[in-house]
């Protein structure tokens, strides 16, 4: 019950503050700048697929962290946390912060992605011809590729944004945890970019090229298949992996909070 009360307060705070909207718009701008680097696509789905290969795209995770990752550190700085915990309990308070941070990051990425897609749709078609090479590639390798064939413009980009947002949520929780250690807001915003860089460049070396089940770049950024020809189970795996990692990060955050406030 206390968690629900804290959640109401946190979501109200997030949606009434400018940070969430700045995060969504910054993600939209990052997509747009990446597109302008090499604007030669013939349709929206192709541009969305190609733009994710540009290095600047990793900055969307800094944007997603800006939505709510600094909330615990801000509460501690302004001494709000002590009054909040006195009215309830520490575990419920931290749990609500973790949930709001994760969901806020995910929603910011979804909003930024949809804004980008809608803008491109004003002068480009949603997808190419049936025999177009890029259209075939997306249908074969993207778990939401069937939406292209069925003409599900909004569904495709919301679902793709949601999956990218899951990774944004994970990295935002890492930022929340590290912000309590480093006591630095800027570090918390910048860390997701650094973390994602190392995930992309070194995870294959550490885990091996065949470790599809922990290929964060493929699972989240490109919505790739984890299970061949099973889009639903691949999507479910991405969600479950994000939930498991979020629970683990939530425990780390709670332990850190207990050490600080002891």
Q: What is the biggest distance separating any 2 CA atoms in the chain, rounded to whole angstroms?
A: 64
The pLDDT mean for the chain works out to: 84
Residue 157 neighbours by CB under 8 Å, 6+ apart: 48, 113, 114, 117
How many domains are contained in the chain? 1
Which carries the bigger pLDDT value, residue 170 or residue 3?
170
Spatial CB neighbours of 155, under 8 Å, sequence gap ≥ 6: 144, 147
Among the listed residues 247, 107, 80, 82, the one whose alpha carbon sits nearest the alpha carbon of residue 177 = 247
Give per-residue pLDDT as tens, 107-143: 999 999 999 999 988 888 887 665 577 777 787 888 8
Q: How far apart are CA 183 and CA 76, in angstroms?
A: 10
For helices 18-37 and 90-121, angle between their N-to-C axes, nearest 10 degrees: 40
Q: Is the dihedral of CA 240, 155, 107, 172 positive or negative?
A: positive
pLDDT band at 210 (very low <50, low <70, confident <90, very high): low
83 burial type by CB count under 10 A (0-12 exposed, 13-18 middle, 19+ buried): exposed
Residue predicted with more confidence, 157 or 215? 157
The predicted pLDDT at position 5 comes to: 86
How far apart are alpha carbons 123 and 149 in whole angstroms?
A: 20
In the block, residue with structure tokens 């569904």: 155
Q: Structure pTM? A: 0.90
Alpha-carbon dihedral of residues 175, 178, 179, 185, nearest 10 degrees?
Answer: -60
**Averaged pLDDT, 195-213:** 67
Asked if pLDDT for residue 63 goes beyond 60, the answer is yes
pLDDT tens-digit readout, 64-96: 988 888 888 887 777 777 666 667 788 888 899
Report the alpha-carbon distance of residue 143 to residue 232 in Å, rounded.
8
Range of the domain at 251: 2-261
Torsion, Cα of 63, 24, 164, 149 (10° steps): -150
Average pLDDT on 9-34 reads 92
Q: How far apart, in whole angstroms, are the C-alpha atoms of residue 233 and residue 157?
A: 19
């Amino acid at each position: 019950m206390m968690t629900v009360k804290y959640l109401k307060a946190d979501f109200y705070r997030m949606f009434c503050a400018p940070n969430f909207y700045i995060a969504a718009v910054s993600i939209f701008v990052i997509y747009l700048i990446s597109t302008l680097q090499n604007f030669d696509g013939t349709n929206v789905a192709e541009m969305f697929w190609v733009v994710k290969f540009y290095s600047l795209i990793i900055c969307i995770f800094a944007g997603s962290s800006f939505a709510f990752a600094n909330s615990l550190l801000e509460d501690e700085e302004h001494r709000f946390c002590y009054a909040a915990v006195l009215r309830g309990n520490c575990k419920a308070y931290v749990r609500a912060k973790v949930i709001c941070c994760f969901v806020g990051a995910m929603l910011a990425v979804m909003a930024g992605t949809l804004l980008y897609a809608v803008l491109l749709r004003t002068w480009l078609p949603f997808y190419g011809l049936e025999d177009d090479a890029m259209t075939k590639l997306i249908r074969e390798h993207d778990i939401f590729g069937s939406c292209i064939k069925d003409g599900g413009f909004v569904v495709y980009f919301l679902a793709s944004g949601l999956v990218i947002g899951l990774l944004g949520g994970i990295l935002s929780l890492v930022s929340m945890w590290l912000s309590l250690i480093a006591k630095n807001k800027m570090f918390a915003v910048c860390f997701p970019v650094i973390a994602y860089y190392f995930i992309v460049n070194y995870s294959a070396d550490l885990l091996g090229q065949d470790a599809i089940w922990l290929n964060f770049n493929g699972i989240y950024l490109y919505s790739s298949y984890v299970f061949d020809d099973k889009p639903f189970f691949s999507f479910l795996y991405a969600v479950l992996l994000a939930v498991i990692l979020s629970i683990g990060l939530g425990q780390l955050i709670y332990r850190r909070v207990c050490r600080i406030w002891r």
